[in-house]
Amino acid sequence: MNNLFDLQNKNILITGATSNIGIALSKLLVSFGANLLLLSRNFEKLQEIKKEINNNNVNIFRFDLSDDIKKQLSEILIDDRKIHGFVHIAGISFTKPLKLLNYKDFESIFKINVYSALEIIQVISHNKYIDEQVGSSYVLISSIRTKKLENLLSLYSMSKSSLNTMAKALAIELSNKKIRVNSILPAYIENSGMYDNIVSKFDEKKIEELKTQHLLGFLSPNDVANSCLFLLSNLSTKITGTNIIIDSGFSLK
């Protein structure tokens, strides 16, 4: 095993673990020795993932980002368990024109996409959860739609843009604790819930146009998982406060 990718005995917390990105990432990280704490509202799906991976390093927890996050984390982070990595995959999106947007829409999407990540980081960056010798790496899954905007996705783009700013701001604030914070901006990912949700609103002509704009083809969940592995590993120990674009050339056209 390449020591630079060695995650042996490192605890990695993942939200949105039942998504296809979460599943791909879980399988990848386990293969490099990570100890996973997988969070999702869908506990039945978590059980299926744990059974499929069949590794004692996979720990699953029913977790609802719309509920009391600190209380739920207190039941997970027992015995002052150290957290070496955090990946925020969970997110929601919807297409809606400005004239129909309301505060409930704003509140729901920012709660899941942004504030839940901030609140989790607030907890796990506490000194008792930090391994002072190793430090930690936090990865926030944002979107290329913060750089290349699309009609009717205003709230979604706003929320994901907040993650990009959060990565930069917290990278400064948490650097003294050896915590790195970065965001990943993927383009359209096939076989992902968000892709299906957004593309379902498009006609065939629009979908074909999107395909041609992805110069190397649509992304796969593994493409995002590989980038997360890099940011969680020792290969990226000096990378922090960055917004990394992985878009198959989508933003170039």
Look at the chain and report how many structural domains it folds into.
1
Range of the domain at 191: 3-252
- State pLDDT tens for residues 78-91: 887 899 999 999 99
At 67, which CATH number? 3.40.50.720
Q: For 154-185, how does the pLDDT look when each residue is reduced to its tens digit (9 = 90+)?
A: 999 999 999 999 999 999 999 999 999 999 99
Mean pLDDT, residues 204-209? 85
- State which amino acid sits at residue 150: E
Kindly state the tokens that stand for 204: 């065939």
**CA–CA gap between residue 155 and residue 196 (Å, rounded):** 18
